[in-house]
Chains A and B, each alone.
Chain A
Amino acid sequence: MPEPLQEALGNLLLAMADDEVLLGHRDAEWVGHAPILEADIAIASIAQDEIGHALLWYSLLHELGWPDPDRMAYFRDPPEFRNATLVELPGGDWAFTIVRQFLFDFAEKVRLEALMGSAYAPLADAAAKVRREEAYHLLHSRAWVVRLGDATAESHRRMQAALDEAWPHALGLFEPVPGEDRLVEAGIAPPGAALRPRWEEEVRPILEAASLVVPEAEPVVGGRWGRHTEHLAALLADFQQVARSGLGETW
């Protein structure tokens, strides 16, 4: 593979891995704090899935010559992360957690479905595997959105506020990674711009069924190029603390 193309593929894998590892961390912050025990078990399991998927994407990166997954996750600073800003935002309330997860799960769905046809076989194979597992996340987040969207005035208010906050950051999931043109030309990945309408076709009817109104908003972009909100540094300070503490490499 020519080096510029490999670089672009790395940028895509990095974006996918960073999205999942940070969302997994945000979800894991709920462990022991979720509103009911069943929800606690579910969010813990989802967190584990997302971090496992991140490990898979980091492993594909490693095969292309990038440092190993632990080094990638724990020893990079905020400007080196290529996640969309959606996943770095603080957990907020349960409504925000559910709305963010819902918007992310469906974005991942349409991305994986497109990548199942990737010309880069290791990516196509991994996408097919992860896509099957994601079915459980999709059932979970859709059910919660519909349930909370119009359950009570309070739940509706919180869900609408969560959607208003999360939506522009969710649009940033589709920001092109550096070198996207090369990936499109080589048949490795679709342009992010092509995924967004497919995603909207999926999420809008569900949000409507939940009596939620999609805000008019411009995408918050920059994440795919290393520009983040102030929340990422605080997140990483927590997430990377133990790995960087120098307590020893062997456990």
Chain B
Amino acid sequence: MVSEGAGKGPTLTPEVIRAALEAVKDPEIPTVSIVDLGMIHGVRVDGEEVEVEFAPTFVGCPALHVIEREIVEQVTALGARRVRVRRVYRPPWTSDRMNERARRALQELGIAPPRPAPAEITWAALERVPCPFCGSTDTRMENLFGPTSCRALFYCHACQQPFEAFKPL
């Protein structure tokens, strides 16, 4: 995605841009910023031109277009004349790239944060996931797939609540 803005941005630095991108949330997890999710791989500034390297979580996630548009809006508002959002796959995004703040925010939403991602996802990676409501590990995976690409469905035997977990990837 490429966009032309009005320009007039004397203070464009990668740090300023990263800080502004904290305002961009995943629309399917609206309290978690894309910076905390680890989706901003790199930011390059060349005068008033900016390139944001964007690491998709799941390739088929339909929120990617929305997020990219919001990145462009935020950076354009800082005064960039030209903003390019480039999807990068090396290194691939993994759930290990989200920070503690993202993990806490997920937990507060009732979504269990992902465990460290093994080299290959197996059933073992999905067993005894702690319930985000009561903390019990007496849980079972109900469905590998959930309401979004990045979430799976679980059930907690202790507090008898269904819950979602962010998939390790």
Interface residues of A (CB under 8 A from B): 38, 41-42, 44-46, 48-53, 55-56, 121, 125-126, 128-130, 132-133, 135-136, 139-140
Contact = CB atoms under 8 A, between A and B. Distances in A.
A38 B94 CA distance: 26
Contact of B120 (A125, A129, A135): A135
Contact of B58 (A41, A121, A125, A133): A133
B167 A53 contact: no
A136 B62 CA distance: 18
Given A41-B143, A42-B144, A49 B92 contact: no
Contacts of B149: 45, 48-49, 52
Q: Which of B59, B60, B88 gathers the greatest number of chain A CB atoms within 10 Å?
A: B60
A66 to B, nearest CB: 17
B128 to A, nearest CB: 17
B121 interface: yes
A145 to B, nearest CB: 14
- A-side binding surface: helix, strand, loop or mixed? helix
B144 A132 contact: no
22 contacts: A41-B147, A42-B143, A42-B144, A44-B145, A45-B149, A48-B62, A49-B58, A49-B60, A51-B60, A52-B61, A52-B62, A125-B90, A125-B92, A128-B89, A128-B90, A129-B59, A129-B89, A130-B59, A133-B169, A135-B120, A139-B144, A140-B145
B59 A45 contact: no
Interface of B: 56, 58-62, 88-90, 92-94, 120-123, 142-147, 149, 153, 167, 169
Given A125-B89, A128-B90, A139 B123 contact: yes
A42 B145 contact: yes
Contacts of B169: 132-133
Nearest to A37: B143
B124 to A, nearest CB: 11
B90 to A, nearest CB: 4
Contacts of A130: 59
Nearest to B146: A41
A135 B169 CA distance: 9
Given A129-B92, A139-B122, A52 B59 contact: yes
B107 to A, nearest CB: 22
Q: What are the 7 tightest A-B residue pairs by CB atom distance, in nearest-first order?
A: A52-B60, A45-B145, A135-B121, A125-B90, A125-B89, A42-B145, A129-B89
B153 to A, nearest CB: 8
B98 to A, nearest CB: 15
A46 B92 CA distance: 20
Given A128-B92, A133-B169, A53 B59 contact: yes
For B56, B90, B147, the residue with the greatest tally of chain A CB atoms inside 10 Å of its CB is B90
B144 A136 contact: yes
A140 B144 contact: yes
B163 to A, nearest CB: 15
A49 B123 CA distance: 20
Q: Which of A53, A126, A132 counts the most B-chain CB atoms under 10 A from its CB?
A: A132
Contacts of B90: 121, 125, 128
Contact of B145 (A46, A56, A121): A46
Contact of B143 (A38, A48, A125): A38
Contacts of A46: 145
Contacts of B59: 49, 52-53, 55-56, 129-130, 133
A88 B62 CA distance: 24
Given A48-B62, A52-B58, A52-B59, A136 B89 contact: no
Contacts of B123: 139
